[in-house]
Amino acid sequence: MNGKYFLVGILLTVALSVAIVVAYPHLATSIPTHWNIHNQPNGHGPKWMLFVLGPGIMAATMLLMYFLPWLSPKNFEVEAFRSTFLQIMLILVSVFAYFDAVILWAALGHPINVGRAIVGGVCLLFATLGNLMGKVRRNFYVGIRTPWSLANERVWNATHRVAAKTFVLGGILGFAVTLAGRGVPLVTFALAASALIPVVYSLAYYKQLQRRGEL
């Protein structure tokens, strides 16, 4: 059943690889791989880097996520939320495919605001992950892994309920700001706050339980 997530990821990897192969003869020897906040290329690399930045990273992500459950120590097993774990994997693979597709599109000479496209993708990543945060169980690989959330399951669950809200809110707010063209600093603040609030909450809630003698 869970194999469907790997199947979709493999199909995405193959589809992107085919797209790069088809476009390859039409690409310059050196292509832009990085842009500044003014949407101007400030980093270049050989065109074969498209295979590394897209299919390579996607395949490596799936391979890593395949072996992580086996590496999980006792009481921190991924099996408790394996479906959610694999959904997170597929979201990451899809985002890497999207980023590489944006670079490929720009490398072919099509007009596109790469910075806005990438930042918007990151915002949607946060919002999508937020929808899964409440289902993530205690583990060492994904989620808000602070010393306090890892130390206590009650703190972990409460922290991830908060993270579910802040990630979705921060992602949606950041995406709206990106569409409005208001600039990267405000988006960065929204995303950073959405990630930092659960971290602070995990400490505060742990200390609260400690004072009550409920740990």
pLDDT tens by residue, 2-18: 789 999 999 999 999 99
Q: Convert the pLDDT of each residue in 83-124 to its tens digit.
A: 999 999 999 999 999 999 999 999 998 888 888 899 999 999
What pLDDT sits at residue 167?
97
Q: For position 53, what pLDDT does the model report?
A: 93
59, 13 contact by CB (below 8 A): yes
Burial 130-168 (b: 16+ CB within 10 A, else e): bebbebbbbbebbbbbbebbbebeebbebbbebbbebbb
Tokens for 39?
A: 């949407």
Q: Which segments of the chain does DSSP mark as H helices, in order?
A: 3-23, 49-51, 57-71, 82-107, 114-133, 147-151, 153-180, 184-212
- Average the pLDDT over each of 4-8, 41-45, 49-53, 68-72 and give the range with the smallest value: 41-45
* Three-state secondary-structure class, residue 173: helix
Entry pTM: 0.91
Residues 55-87: tens digit of each pLDDT: 999 999 999 999 999 998 888 889 889 999 999
What pLDDT is recorded for position 1?
Answer: 59
Residue 115 CB contacts under 8 Å (≥ 6 apart), including other chains: 35, 36, 37, 39, 184
Average pLDDT, the chain: 92
- Tell me: pLDDT of 132 over 90: yes
Q: Is 90 exceeded by the pLDDT of residue 214?
A: no
What pLDDT is stored for residue 80 in this prediction?
86
